[in-house]
Amino acid sequence: NAGVTQTPKFRVLKTGQSMTLLCAQDMNHEYMYWYRQDPGMGLRLIHYSVGEGTTAKGEVPDGYNVSRLKKQNFLLGLESAAPSQTSVYFCASSRLERTSTDTQYFGPGTRLTVL
Amino acid sequence: AQKVTQAQTEISVVEKEDVTLDCVYETRDTTYYLFWYKQPPSGELVFLIRRNSFDEQNEISGRYSWNFQKSTSSFNFTITASQVVDSAVYFCALSALSGGYNKLIFGAGTRLAVHP
């Protein structure tokens, strides 16, 4: 059981380049999330999705776009990368819970460097 | 507003020592959930525990124990007889209705180094 997977694991971009990070989960979870982790700041929510075809902004959405065309996949896009987007990106997923919070399970992370 | 504070940035102990990682949270909700995650040097985030605000019983899992005190808004994590494999960054996180269930607010993390 793979759980949550992310591709790529590492990437180096030049300022202004674009890229897409792919997250896939095989747990049939409704909810999916993208976080970024920066030193001394914990994880911050970028965007999330509560189901196929839906997306919503999190705490730090600027400069990112997302899409959830299939239930098992959640894509994070950077249209014009900036050095401030150098970070480690984590994807997570959780079950549908309308009146409580279910546990989020995380992927292994993608380390992105923008030069 | 919701907030999680992990005041200890780094802790260094010698193997077999007991160590407590502090977590203080802020929320106005009466129903909320608290989590601890472990991030070992390999980088992945490993779920350790989930606790809801109505369950104040302390929990023990092997060498790990958690002390939830609503009176002080704290959810502290203790490792008994620490081992080198416990070396990691530990994150405390909060989720509550007003912030949206399933939105986790993370603390900044505590880096634990266990030396042989």
Task: Tell me the pLDDT of chain B (116 aa) as tens digits.
Answer: 789 999 999 999 999 999 999 999 999 988 899 999 999 999 999 999 999 898 888 888 999 999 999 999 999 999 999 999 999 999 999 988 776 657 889 999 999 999 99
Neighbours of A41 (CB within 10 A): 14
Q: Do A102 and B102 touch (CB under 8 A)?
A: yes
Question: Do B105 and B92 meet the contact criterion of CB atoms below 8 Å apart?
Answer: no
Report helix, strand and coil shares of chain A as percent, to nearest 5. 5, 50, 50
- Judge whether A38 is closer than 8 Å to chain B, CB to CB: no
A99 compared with B77, residue with greater pLDDT: B77
Output the furthest CA–CA distance in chain B (Å, rounded).
44
Report the residue of chain B nearest A32, measured CA to CA.
B102
The string of pLDDT tens digits covering residues A39-89 is 888 899 999 998 999 999 999 999 999 999 999 999 999 999 999 999 999
Residue A81, burial from CB neighbour count under 10 angstroms (0-12, 13-18, 19+): buried
Q: Does B2 touch chain A (CB under 8 A)?
A: no
Q: How far, in Å, CA of B48 to CA of B84, rounded?
A: 18
What are A79-88's pLDDT values in tens digits? Answer: 999 999 999 9
Any chain A CB within 8 A of the CB of B64? no
Write out the DSSP string of chain B.
--EEE---SEEEEETT--EEE--EEE-S-SSEEEEEEEE-TT---EEEEEEETT----EEETTEEEEEEGGGTEEEEEESS--GGG-EEEEEEEEEGGG-TT--EE---EEEEEE-
Parallel, antiparallel or unpaired: strands B19-21 and B74-79: antiparallel
DSSP code for A59: S
